[in-house]
Amino acid sequence: MRALVWHGPHDLKLEEIQAPRAGAGEALVKVSAVGICGSDIHGYSGASGRRTPGTVMGHELSGTVEEADGAASQHTGQRVAVNPLTPDGTCAYCQQGMPHLCPNRRVLGVNMGAAGAFAEYVVIGVDNLIPLADGISDAEGAMAEPLAVAVRAVNISGLQAGEPTLILGAGTIGLCVLLVCRSRGIGPVFMSERIPHRIEMARSLGAEALSADDDITGRVLDANGGLGVSCSLDAVGAGPTIRQGLMATRRAGKLVLVGLAQPSVDLALYELVPQERVITGSYAYRPEEYREAVRLINERAVDVRPLLERTVSLDDAPDAFEALATGEDPSVKVMVEP
């Protein structure tokens, strides 16, 4: 089968590799659509050390079940969204309902060997398959993964309907957080972003979108009686956005970090400790949060279509990666359709 193999920074090649075979409890899925994630771009450029040479990346996918083991064989031919996380199911975290934090978890396209979704086929556990509704496109189905990340972040935020919030960064994750907030009546939603195209996108999806150079803190404090928001969400994860998020959050409020742009940052403790602010990470999603994301897409309770700006073939994918890595392409979500 054809697959995009990552050999090192800015070195991605379309190659013929051995197609995977499904084992016990697994399904062979023909990939229909797979999104290029910010983490794939960090991996591609070498900015993140989390990808090893020879890897086939790709974890935001939908596809069609070609064959499935056991009772799941009835799913053959079905269109599905694929949850890329495979926990071990036996550790303390798995047993306490936190399989996404399993230290032995394997993630398709990250650490499952040469088996990611920038390829014609993947093999995944049958429990990772969630059916897609008729009328939902393959690309929409692939958006279940970033949407699930947003569902997790908003669940952790504790934000309720009618509460204002601030989202830092209007890339795919930030915009998915916006869509989940709006589906739950959370708002007004302020967003800060650097790239003009994405500021426009955030505004068109209902956010009070601000340029990252604006007085974000001032605007958010003004809009909420000078108190700040009870929770802000950082979908960038860099020093300046973390500081803005903290400053816009009221005392004893929470900052949820979803982004991971920098491995370490300077943190001004005088903006954290005396105010009893809380900083928490949000990672991936629980299985039920992934299913929730698929339900939101299947019912169009959240419409991800505006985020889908460009589709490329496997042949054109290396150029698409390069254009995203250099910033030449400001598209929110680029889909690869093998």
Contacts to Zn ion by CB under 5 A: 87-88, 91, 94, 102
102 vs 166, beta carbon nearer Zn ion: 102
CB of 87 to Zn ion, least distance (A): 4
CB of 108 to Zn ion, least distance (A): 16
User: Considering only CA atoms, which of 146, 105, 107 is closest in space to residue 124?
Assistant: 107
CB of 287 to Zn ion, least distance (A): 12
CB of 281 to Zn ion, least distance (A): 18
CB of 301 to Zn ion, least distance (A): 31
73 vs 104, beta carbon nearer Zn ion: 104
61 vs 94, beta carbon nearer Zn ion: 94
78 vs 111, beta carbon nearer Zn ion: 111
- Rounded-to-integer distance, Cα 63 and Cα 134, Å: 13
Which backbone phi and psi does 85 adopt, to 5 degrees?
A: -90, 130
Note whether 142 and 41 are within 8 A (CB).
Answer: no
User: Considering only CA atoms, which of 85, 49, 55 is closest in space to residue 260?
Assistant: 49
Q: What residue type is assigned to position 286 of the chain?
A: R
The Cβ-side half-sphere exposure at 104, using a 13 Å CA radius, reads 8
75 vs 105, beta carbon nearer Zn ion: 105
- Rounded-to-integer distance, Cα 170 and Cα 172, Å: 7
CB of 95 to Zn ion, least distance (A): 8
Q: Quote the DSSP letter at residue 119.
A: B
Computed from CA positions of residues 180, 265, 222, 200, in that sequence, does the dihedral angle turn out positive or negative?
negative
18 vs 96, beta carbon nearer Zn ion: 96
| Cis geometry, peptide bond prior to residue 84 (ω within 30 degrees of 0) | no
